[in-house]
Amino acid sequence: MTATSTLLTLLVIAASGFVLARARALACAGGDSRALHSLPGHYGWASVLLTLGPALALFALLKIAAPPTPAGTLAVLALALAALAWSLRRTRPNFRARQTVERGVLALLMLAACVAIATTAGIVLSMLFETRNFFAQYDWREFFLSTTWAPRFQGDSDLGILPLLWGTLYISLIALVFAVPVGLFAAIYMAEYAGGRFRAIVKPAIEVLAGIPTIVYGLFALITVGPLLRDYFAQPLGLGTSGASVMTAGLVMGVMLIPFVSSLSDDIIAQVPQSLRDGSLGLGATRSETIRQVVLPAALPGIVGAVLLAASRAIGETMIVVLGAGAAAKLGLNPFEAMTTITVKIVSQLTGESDFAAPETLVAFALGLTLFAITLSLNVLALAIVRKYREQYE
Amino acid sequence: MKDTLTEGRGTAADTAKIAVRGLQVHYGDTHAVRDVDVDIPDRAVTALIGPSGCGKSTFLRCLNRMNDTIPAARVTGEIRIDGEDIHDARVDPVQLRAKVGMVFQKPNPFPKSIRDNVAYGPKIHGLTRKRSELDEVVEKSLRRAALWDEVKNRLDAPGTGLSGGQQQRLCIARAIATSPEILLMDEPCSSLDPIATAQIEELIDELRSRFAVVIVTHSMQQAARVSQRTAFFHLGRMVEYGDTGKLFTNPADPRTESYITGRIG
Amino acid sequence: MSDQAARPTSLLERSSYTARRHAAETRFRACGLGAILIGLAALTMLLASVLGPGLGAFRQTHIHLPIHLDAAALDKSGTRDPEVLKKVTTLGYGKVIDKALAEAVAQAGIAIEGLSDAEISGIISREAPAQLRRKVLANPGLIGETIPLSILADGRIDGYLKGRVTAATAALDSNVSPAQLQLADAMGERGLISLDLNAAFLTAPDASDQRPEAAGLGVAILGSAYMMLIVLALALPIGVAASIYLEEFAPKNRLTDLIEVNIANLAAVPSIVFGILGLAIFINVAGLPQSAPVVGGLVLTLMTLPTIIIATRASLKAVPPSIREAALGLGASRMQAVFHHVLPLAAPGILTGAILGLAQALGETAPLLLIGMVAFVREYPGAPPEGLFDPASALPVQIYNWTQRADPAFVERASGAIIVLLAFLLVMNAAAILLRRRFERRW
């Protein structure tokens, strides 16, 4: 019996449990549902939960523990039938079926909420485990402190994270230097100056940028921005001949971040109470003086939080840098040179034929863990700042 | 608190600090203020009373053109301050608001230090450049707002950390610091406890020696306590305007009488 | 006051200081407008640079020929037995097409100097014989007949008709000669070759590096659809259940706080980290197959969950407490109040959130690269549920794949695929907006 048919059989048993328990409850009460403690349907559902719960648990346990055997399948089905019989025996008018059902449902709801924890645990544990394997083969000091990244097929690779970290931070910095002023000014204009109609057209248009998948930005970097920067800036200035560069990836990522910064800032600026604006305008300040000297300082913590979230986004971004930044691990200052990032190297070490015993593959998990640690701390910090800011005006 | 010295002053147009003629305000489709004519005297407190939504706050916001900041508001009619039409194309609302200060319903100190709150106006208007002069203005304004003694040792503490009454006096000090000639107050005590309210009322009484004060209030008792002249607004119209004592003891209009005796409002 | 002198006493006089302040105001405002213009310009440039070249992918150059399916070449035994027919390779069909083309060229009286026979057959796509072979195997009765066919032209000829290839570039290109372009011109005048609608782009599977003209999105669209099915089937119920628990039942305790913080942070974890999770847990530990939609679907489910949870909680929160109180007041249990009253009222908001979550999942690329979906897949996956375990591609990964190929014709394909992807996203977002407009309730 395949897993699918076992599950289907279980469902059939459970469905018959529903029908039987419901009918039995009504029969016990002599057809008068008012004599029952709960609605007839509750007795049916209680039976379904009692039947499916243990059987599914056993099924999952067997599935994880051992390859499926006919004996295991039989055991599962037998358990389901036994539970069905027991649940029918319990179906009496004074059985508190609704409470049983609701407790079962609540447990399911809670289980669903715990998926979030399980995901985080899965992320951390899987990366920790493989990272430990990596550091068993490769000195961790070399990994964190070496300035060379040169994986070799035959082994004896240099796997220093510093050039990748540098590329990541350099590109993110350019992206933020572009996106933060543009996004912030756009948000200010939208929140403080724009008329209703202008806002109704422009705001969604800017937000379209946020809905475009990053692969599209990647292609934009590859076929448009890269060649443009190379032909009009890098080559005439003698700074490089590569379309893929820190500048290409940084600018395109900046465009991606504009709506992110602007919609977060817009929310934050909107939370600054109108009374502060009135206070400033009432003293004879112009709008821009009010914004610069009252609204922005009041919104500053929130905006800092938004910038940190944007930074975390930039650091974890993959497709734009895969297509726009290049693959050469380098420590340099020339923004028109190709450099590479942590995410690019995770992709390149884990795609294709990978040998999960070699440090060249395992290093990806150490890179992933580092990336996770950096973005997590940025997020936690940012969320804490933003929450604190919200409380201030609540 | 009635002061006979100022009684009778400003009743004629030529001595009025503010002269309003035929004022109309529309908010979108709502006709919020209709046909208001009034002369507001200098160095006296004028109270605007009336039920909620009667247009008294809207009227107040016309006097320093704060309604300009609301896109849907449309103001027509004439308002003259010292004989100059404030809707004249040459008038800069920014300069006007320095001359006509405003204090709001809810204390709204900026999230800055006490010193920076008071210095904000003088700084943006470029009235003073030197730190010492600025400190002087801050002290003088805080003294006039009767707050100096309470905060002189913590001028660098945030203004938002003060109590409600102190915050409102800080806002008054902030408005005084730009050396205005007129002070507009929009229900300045509505969010304060009785003790803080009494302090503010006392302060208002002192302020009228230097400024023309126009105060919107929801409380008839407050109007009676602090003002020399009172205007009663009802449904966007100014129904009656006159000496505070006369308006409360012997109102000319039956609507005013209904309001002050508590039958409407 | 002494400082009053700094300001004119009359309101009608403007001080130079305020003039400077107003100038600063104008500059500030211009900066704001400038920022918005930069944003809009970036959007326009992005769309134009992707959509412009991409439109070409929806049209394809075909050569129209009467082809004689010679029984002597294709079925020597004369039995029409499919098993025997399979022994004839694509090479055999290639010769049939070459012959038909040579005849057609000769018949049309086209003579071009220096054009060899090999060059004439070179204008046919390498994929064309395989297509013809599949057609004949599916219908052996065609053998012996002469049928009019539209066969794929080579990518370079296609590029010539679309303006990507010119005589100048052809002179430098070993894959195409100027003489072949002249041949294409001549055939075009006689209606033997033309640009037609390319429906195969949406249905055909990917093709190899040498055959951009045959590459299509069929497998990728199917793979993406399978993954979206999984995301919808898993993320929506789990997300809604988790939100109901957190919003309506969760006690205020450490566990609840932990879950809350977790969800907020998961929403901001880089997508590639989810790919690592998928690779390590679903493939290496659970032993699920690489490149399979089921793994992609699971990874995207975990990624989408926070989005759906956040949207669902917002719409649950928007249902006023009075509704719950009314239900409780009638003797309903809390569970009944939630499932009978709150949840139906929150449903439009939840669906909107779910659609937006799906749209986000549809465009996600990086995690799919790590679970092997970059592999070259030409076979369509089977029908679900078994088909979920077959190798497949996905729309965004297919785009990435094409950007990595040498032939510039693939840039057109990648851009075309982006148009398809954006069209799907547009439809999903429009649906979400409509749903919101139609059912939005203000309390």
One DSSP character per residue, C6-70 reads GS-SSTTSPPHHHHHHHHHHHHHHHHHHHHHHHHHHHHHHHHHHHHHHHGGGGEEEEEEEEEE--
CA distance C153 to C213: 7
- Shortest alpha-carbon distance between residue B110 and chain A (Å): 6
Most confident of A29-33, C386-390, C426-430: C426-430
**Residues in B touching C4 (Cβ below 8 Å):** 179
Q: Which of A279, A284, A285 sits opposite B108 (nearest CB)?
A: A279
Query: Domain A149-392 belongs to what architecture?
Result: Orthogonal Bundle (1.10)
C254-300 per-position pLDDT tens digit = 888 888 888 888 888 999 999 999 999 898 888 888 888 999 999 99
* Assigned token pair, A81: 């039938």
Chain-chain contact of C35 with A186 (C-beta, under 8 angstroms): yes
Q: Is C2's pLDDT higher than 70?
A: no
Residue A281 is nearest to which of B69, B125, B178, comparing CB atoms?
A: B69
| Residue from A229, A288, A293 whose CB has the most chain C CBs within 10 Å, to mutate | A288
Is B235 in the C-facing interface, judged by CB distances under 8 Å?
A: no
Give residue-wise pLDDT tens across range B186-245.
999 988 899 989 999 999 999 999 999 999 998 899 999 999 999 999 999 999 999 999
Structure confidence at residue B33 (pLDDT): 92
Choose among A157, A110, A158, A172: nearest CA to A307. Answer: A172
CB contacts < 8 A, A to B, total 69
* pLDDT over 70 (residue C384): yes
For residue B2, pLDDT over 70 is answered with no
Chain A residues lying within 8 Å of C370, measured CB to CB:
346-347, 350-351
CA distances for B117 relative to A150, A281, A293, B135, C234, angstroms: 58, 14, 11, 12, 55
pLDDT tens track for B127-138:
877 889 899 999
How many Å apart are CA C281 and CA A346, to the nearest integer? Answer: 16
Beta bridge partners of B27: B30, B73
Cβ atoms of C151 and C97 within 8 Å: the answer is yes
**C-chain residue closest to B140, CA distance:** C1
For residue C145, what are its two tokens? Answer: 């007949």
A355, closest residue in chain C (CA to CA): C284
* Mean pLDDT across A136-159: 86
B34 forms beta bridges with B237
Contact between residue A363 and residue A159 where contact means Cβ atoms under 8 Å apart: yes
Q: Is the dihedral of CA A361, A362, A363, A364 positive or negative?
A: positive
* Mean pLDDT of the C420-426 span: 94
C-alpha to C-alpha distance for C436 and A173, rounded to whole angstroms: 37
Cross-chain Cβ contact A278/B69 below 8 Å: yes
Tokens matching residue A60: 């999952």
pLDDT for C443: 63
User: Rounded CA gap, A263 and A121, in Å?
Assistant: 31
Q: Considering only residues 66 to 125 of chain A, which have any Cβ-Cβ distance to chain B shorter than 8 Å? A: none
Question: pLDDT tens for residues A294-353?
Answer: 999 889 888 999 999 999 999 999 999 999 998 888 888 899 999 999 999 999 988 877
8 Å CB contact between B178 and B8: no
Residues 24-83 of B with CB under 8 A from C: 81-82
Which residue in the set C35, C50, C53 is minimally distant from A216, CB to CB?
C50
Report which of residues C387 and B57 the model is more confident about.
Answer: B57
| Residue B7 pLDDT greater than 50, yes or no | no
The Cα–Cα gap between A258 and A260 comes to 5
* Residue in A closest to B109 by C-alpha: A276
Domain C218-439: which CATH class?
A: mainly alpha
Write the burial class of residue B193 (CB in 10 Å: 0-12 exposed, 13-18 middle, 19+ buried): exposed
B3 belongs to a structural domain: no
Looking at residue B256, which CATH number applies to its domain? 3.40.50.300
Q: Could you give the CA distance from residue C136 to residue C252 in angstroms, rounded to a whole number?
A: 70
Q: Are C17 and B124 in contact (CB under 8 A)?
A: no
Model pLDDT, residue A394: 57
pLDDT value, residue C5: 40
* Residues in Cβ contact with C327 at an 8 Å cutoff, skipping those fewer than 6 apart: C336, C337, C340, C341
- Strand locations in chain A (E): 149-150, 158-159
Q: Would you call A283 and B101 a contact, using CB atoms and an 8 Å cutoff?
A: yes
The answer, yes or no, to whether residue B6 has pLDDT greater than 60, is no
pLDDT bracket for residue A240 (50, 70, 90): confident
pLDDT for B5 equals 38
- Euclidean distance between CA atoms A261 and A52, whole angstroms: 48
Nearest Cα to C42, choosing from A262, A115, A100, A76?
Answer: A262
Angle at A120 between CA A118 and CA A125, to 5 degrees: 90
Chain B residues with CB under 8 Å of C22 CB are 92, 94
Token readout for C253 is: 């305790």
Q: Is B193 on the interface with C (CB under 8 A)?
A: no
Give the count of domains, chain B.
1
Distance CA A313, CA A261 (A): 11
Looking at chain C, the whole-number percentage of residues with pLDDT higher than 70 is 97
Per the CB < 8 Å rule, is C12 touching B99?
no
Q: What is the pLDDT of residue B265?
A: 63
Is pLDDT at B8 greater than 60 in this prediction? no
Residue % of chain C over a pLDDT of 90? 33
B182-186 and B73-81 beta bridge pairing: unpaired
What's the maximum distance between 2 C-alpha atoms anywhere in chain A? 94
Q: What sign for the dihedral angle of Cα A268, A274, A279, A282?
A: positive
Cα separation, A281 vs C337, in Å, equals: 48
Tell me if C101 sits within 8 A of C66, measured CB to CB.
Answer: no
Q: What is the ipTM of this complex?
A: 0.90
Q: According to the model, what pLDDT value does residue A61 have?
A: 80
Indicate the residue type of A393. Y
Chain A residues with CB-CB distance to B174 below 8 A: 279, 283
Residue C297's alpha-carbon distances to C221, C222, C277, in angstroms, are 14, 13, 13
Nearest of A355, A382, A366 to residue A260 by alpha carbon: A382
What whole-number distance in Å separates Cα of residue C373 and Cα of residue C393? 5
B124 — contact with chain A (CB < 8 Å)?
yes
- If pLDDT is split at 50, 70 and 90, which confidence band does C367 have? very high
Chain A residues whose CB is inside 8 A of the B121 CB are 283-285
Predicted confidence band of residue A276 (pLDDT cuts 50, 70, 90): very high
Q: What pLDDT shows up at residue A46?
A: 83
Residue tagged 């390859």 (tokens) = A67
Burial label, A66 (beta-carbon count in 10 A; 0-12, 13-18, 19+): exposed
pLDDT per residue as tens digits for the range C292-340: 899 999 999 999 999 999 999 999 998 898 989 898 988 888 888 899 8
The pLDDT confidence band at residue A393, using thresholds 50, 70 and 90, is low
**Mean pLDDT computed over every residue of chain A:** 87
Q: Return the bridge partners of B46, or none.
A: B214, B229
Q: Which residue has the higher pLDDT, C31 or A83?
A: C31
| Chain centroid to CA A38 | 42
pLDDT digits (tens, 9 = 90+) for A159-202: 899 999 999 999 999 999 999 999 999 999 999 898 889 988 99
Chain centroid to CA A354: 25
Residue B106 resides in a domain: yes
CB pairs under 8 A between B and C: 50
Contacts 24+ apart (CB under 8 A), A74-80: A76/A6, A76/A10, A77/A6, A77/A9, A77/A10, A77/A13, A79/A54, A79/A55, A80/A10, A80/A13, A80/A14, A80/A51, A80/A52, A80/A54, A80/A55
Amino acid identity, position B24 = Q
Q: Determine if residue B190 is left, alpha or beta; phi over 0 gives left, psi from -120 to 50 gives alpha, anything else beta.
A: alpha
Strand partners, A111: none
Interface contact B84-C10, CB threshold 8 A: yes
Nearest to A98 among C273, C277, C333 (CB): C333
**Which partners does chain B have (≥3 C-beta pairs < 8 Å)?**
A, C
B143 at C interface, C-beta within 8 A: no
Partner chains of A (3+ C-beta pairs under 8 Å): B, C
Task: List the 176-215 stretch of C: residues with Cβ below 8 A of A.
Answer: none
Among C262, C276, C411, beta carbon nearest to A116:
C262
pLDDT > 50? residue C3: no
Tell me, what amino acid is at C106? Answer: A
A289 contacts on B by Cβ (under 8 Å): 124
Q: For chain A, give the percent of residues with pLDDT over 70.
A: 97
Q: Among A324, C223, A128, A180, which residue's Cα sits nearest to residue A343?
A: A324
Q: What is the pLDDT of residues C53-93, one digit of tens each?
A: 888 889 999 999 888 888 888 887 778 887 888 888 888 88
**pLDDT digit string (tens) for C176-203?**
888 888 888 888 888 888 888 998 899 8
pLDDT band at B15 (very low <50, low <70, confident <90, very high): low
Domain parsing of chain A, residue ranges = 3-115, 149-392
Searching chain A, which residue's CA lies closest to the CA of residue C267? A379
Residue B7 lies in a domain: no
- Which residue range is the domain that position B50 belongs to? 13-260
**Chain B closest CA to A297's CA: distance in Å?**
8
- Confidence band of C210 (pLDDT split at 50, 70, 90): confident
3-state DSSP assignment of residue A37: coil
A217 reaches C (C-beta below 8 A): yes
| pTM listed for this prediction | 0.88
* Chain A contact set for C278 (CB, 8 A): none
- Give the pLDDT score at C6: 52
Beta strand pairing call for B229-234 and B45-49: parallel
- Chain A residues with CB under 8 Å of B101 CB are 282-283
pLDDT value of residue B12: 44
Identify the residue whose tokens are 């059987």: A55
Q: How far is the C-alpha of C392 from the C-alpha of C297, rounded, in Å?
A: 12
Q: Look at A131 and C436; give whichever has higher pLDDT.
A: A131
Closest of B71, B80, B108, B95 to residue B186, by C-alpha: B108
Q: Cβ contacts (< 8 Å) between A290 and chain B: which residues?
A: none
Q: SS in 3 state form for chain B?
A: CCCCCCCCCCCCHHHEEEEEEEEEEEECCEEEEEEEEEEEECCCEEEEECCCCCCHHHHHHHCCCHHHHCCCEEEEEEEEECCEECCCCCCCHHHHHHHEEEECCCCCCCCCEHHHHHHHHHHHCCCCCCHHHHHHHHHHHHHHCCCHHHHCCCCCCEHHHCCHHHHHHHHHHHHHCCCCCEEEEECCCCCCCHHHHHHHHHHHHHHCCCCEEEEECCCHHHHHHHCCEEEEEECCEEEEEEEHHHHHHCCCCHHHHHHHCCCCC
Q: Does B131 touch chain C (CB under 8 A)?
A: no
In chain C, CATH 1.10.3720.10 sits at 218-439
Contacts with B, A 183-202, CB within 8 Å? 195-196
**Around A91, how many Cα atoms within 13 Å sit in the side-chain half-sphere?**
31
pLDDT in tens, B161-194: 999 999 999 999 999 999 899 999 999 998 889 9
**Cβ A183 vs Cβ A259: under 8 Å:** yes
Higher pLDDT, A22 or C359: C359
